[in-house]
Structure 1
Amino acid sequence: MTDSANTLGLIAGNGRFPFLLLDAARAHGLRVVVAAIKEETEPEMNDRARLDPDFIRVHWLSLGELSKLIETFQREGVTRAVMAGQVKHKQIFSAIRPDWRLAKLLMSLRTRNTDMLLGAVARVLGDEGIHLESSTAYLEPMLAPAGPITSRKPTDQELADIAYGVDVARGIAGFDLGQTVVIAAAACVAVEAMEGTDATILRAGDIMRTLHEDGDASTLARSLTVVKVAKPKQDLRFDVPVVGLPTIETMRTAGATCLAIEAGRTLTFDRAAMIAAADAAGIAIFGHSGATTL
């Protein structure tokens, strides 16, 4: 008989997050049942299962197969689970092919944002005896600290942009539009929506390049400050803010010079490598409080 107390379900999206959570769960001695999303999860997940077959089981399912997810977890004795890894917003609302259970759930939603959808999925899982836990439960050491994180501290202008950016970002996050804004000289250059953080940063860089090429940016500084926040009522069971080395690489491409992330509520992946890359590029990383004044 499966020991449900020592079994954790993992609903795995894309990126490195699922693998980090998998490692952390295994370090706690847990058997992990992975529900790998065909449209998102890295194929490497199969390799991890082959290396540790007694403690890692992988089941592949499509994004819309809610009934199969529930049946798989129940068959494997899963009574608690976590979500880890991104599922692209546009994937959720365009490429999804819902089964009957998910179709019924979608029809019941007042608004089709990710918070509403994932919250509804969490309630359905709970009704079936599967409790969805915070995705940060096993990764607390990876949460961003407060204050300067890199060798270079933000300049006075960057601090002012962070304060303004936190105000704007918390406003859009409250509507579940996104969690990131890009600021230059107290002007909002780009706001995140379905395209995701990296695309937002790159779009801001393109806007600034165009303005300078056209000679229309005499009042704006060339440098960009990226501000990321948690939602005002962030549900840490899903959609936790995440940054890492790719974020810094994207910022370099866009010409951004400062990254502000919410302390204690943002996961920092590969932190040492991320800091080293930021230091080499002269990029400041700062853990803000989430308040509109710093």
Structure 2
Amino acid sequence: MKLGLIAGNGRFPFLILEAARAQGLQVAVAAIREETDLEINERAQADAGVTVHWLSLGELSKLIDTFHKEGVTQAVMAGQVKHKQIFSSIRPDWRLAKLLLNLRTRNTDMLLGAVAKVLGDEGIELISSTSFLEPLLAQEGVLTERGPDEEERKNIEYGLGVARAVAGFDIGQTVVVAAQACVAVEAMEGTDAAIERAGMLMRSLEEDEPGEASTLHRHLTVVKVAKPKQDMRFDVPVIGMRTIDAMLKAGATCLSVEAGRTLLFDREALLRRASEEKIAIVAVPRGE
């Protein structure tokens, strides 16, 4: 069997590629010009079982034709495609334009769900993006040397309610909390940028009120959830080393994710770094 890989940005596509090749599968990569790392070309040059085809975000027909020519009947989406690309200057081909015109809303679930249906109608089944990476899913419990303290637990409890409500509208999957108050909500900019924005806001408060006591002068807690009806074929919550870097820069001390529905990239290194920096990471039971 030849697996189709629709590759976005980040390390996710490379992890899928490595796992699929380890299982002896040939892989046809559809690399998105606006997103995919050029390193994917080097990977293909070093492995005869990998072919790479570059296409634009708007070229849905070319994607289908490419997979048909490669004999692909199953494909996986891996790697982020920035939500703001929905409003970018890409030129959709006739197939994508027709799809966009028929959408009730242009949120991630609606758009990718429609793309998945078009692929399915063309004999290309879109399978779960975690199919090859089950060991990287967060297991329930405290994952770092330090668990959340009392204040952080209160922030998590509050943040889960807010994050799950926001995720239900497919706006974002992350909120940043301090003293049981919402400091930032993720939108199109992504998790790491939302954390950075929260840190900037907290610093601005401290600069505006030097030496003054404030209920918001607390460490930040980051709460990331899956959507209530998370489709594991795409847009799966992911935490990586860049998230830890963003937390350190923002002054965040605790991270909560959902067990079984969040991928931890570079798991051992990530948890080791978090523990060294006294950041608590906990995986809570999934929400319904």
Alignment TM-score, normalising by the size of structure 1: 0.95
Gaps of 5+ in 1: 1-5
Q: Show the counterpart of 1:273.
A: 269
Q: How far apart are the structure 2 equivalents of 1:132 and 1:88?
A: 20
Tell me the distance in 1 between the aligned counterparts of 2:59 and 2:287: 39
2:55 aligns with 61
1:159 and 1:226, CA in 2 relative to 1: closer, same or farther beyond 3 A?
Answer: same
Tell me, in whole angstroms, the C-alpha distance in 2 between the residues paired with 1:217 and 1:64.
Answer: 51
Confirm whether residue 74 of structure 1 aligns to residue 74 of structure 2: no
Q: Residue type matched to 1:243 in 2?
A: I
The residue correspondences of 1:37-48 to structure 2 (distance < 5 A) are: 37-48=32-43
Is 1:250 matched up with 2:237? no
The CA deviation at 1:273 is 1.1
Instruction: Give the alignment of 1:8-47 within 5 angstroms.
Output: 8-47=3-42
Count of matched residue positions in the alignment of Structure 1 and Structure 2: 286
**2:257 corresponds to which letter in structure 1?**
I
What secondary structure, in the 3-state scheme, does the structure 2 residue paired with 1:95 have? coil
Please tell me whether the aligned partners of residues 168 and 228 of structure 2 are also in contact (alpha carbons under 8 angstroms).
Answer: yes
Matching residue of 1:160: 154
In structure 2, the residue matched to 1:50 is 45
Percent of pairs identical after alignment? 69
Q: CA 1:282–1:46 in 2, change beyond 3 Å: closer, same or farther?
A: same
* CA deviation map 1:58-117 (0-9, x unaligned): 100001000000000001100000000000000132132100100010000001111100
Please name the residue that 2:171 is paired with. Answer: 177
| 8 Å contact kept, 1:211–1:217 | no
Q: Deviations over 1:130-187 (max 9, x none)?
A: 0000000110000011111000110011011111111100000000000000000100
In 1: Cα distance, 2:89 partner to 2:182 partner: 31
| Paired position in structure 2 for 1:290 | 286
Kept in 2: contact 1:166–1:290 (CA 8 A): no
What secondary structure sits across from 1:58 in the alignment?
strand
**Aligned partner of 1:230: which letter?**
A
Alignment partner, residue 261 of structure 1:
257
Residue 291 of structure 1: CA displacement?
4.1
Q: Which residue of 1 aligns with 2:193?
A: 199
User: Structure 1 runs of 4+ off > 6 angstroms?
Assistant: none
Which residue does 1:110 correspond to in 2? 104
CA deviation profile, 1:216-256 (whole Å, cap 9, x unmatched): 76112420000000000001110000001111011000000
The separation in 2 between residues aligned to 1:270 and 1:192, in whole angstroms, is: 23
- What RMSD over aligned residues (CA atoms) do the two structures have, in Å? 1.1
Q: SS state of the match for residue 88, structure 2?
A: helix
Q: In structure 2, what is the Cα distance between the partners aligned to 1:260 and 1:155?
A: 12
Give ranges in structure 2 of 5+ residues lacking alignment: none
Q: Deviations over 1:245-289 (max 9, x none)?
A: 111011000000001011100000001111121112111011011
